């Protein structure tokens, strides 16, 4: 059984698991997981599927998808 954490994708590439919160931020979307510091992903929310615990982001206009380290 899954808890309430989400998996976040940038396009169709998984970029984070066990995401506990996210919020809009300057330059993208800030997200946090249980075991990592919060980070800003350069993108915007495309859609959220609450039943599948899935958040899909799309790159900001003019940006190529980049996975933050």
| Range 45-62 average pLDDT | 93
The count of residues in the chain is 69
Tell me how far apart the alpha carbons of residues 17 and 5 are, in angstroms, rounded to a whole number: 8
Sequence ranges of the domains in the chain: 6-59
pTM, 2 dp:
0.81
- pLDDT of the residue at 2: 56
What count of other Cβ atoms lies within 10 Å of the Cβ of residue 19? 19
pLDDT at 58 over 90: yes
pLDDT tens string 13-48: 999 999 999 999 999 999 999 889 999 999 999 999
Higher-confidence residue: 54 or 2?
Answer: 54
Tell me how far apart the alpha carbons of residues 56 and 36 are, in angstroms, rounded to a whole number: 20
């Amino acid at each position: 059984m899954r808890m309430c954490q989400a998996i976040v994708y940038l396009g169709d590439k998984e970029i984070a698991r066990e995401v506990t919160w996210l919020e809009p931020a300057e330059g993208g979307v800030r997200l946090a997981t249980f075991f990592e510091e919060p980070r800003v992903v350069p993108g915007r929310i495309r859609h959220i599927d609450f039943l599948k615990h899935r958040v899909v982001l799309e790159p900001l206009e003019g940006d190529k998808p980049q996975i933050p380290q």
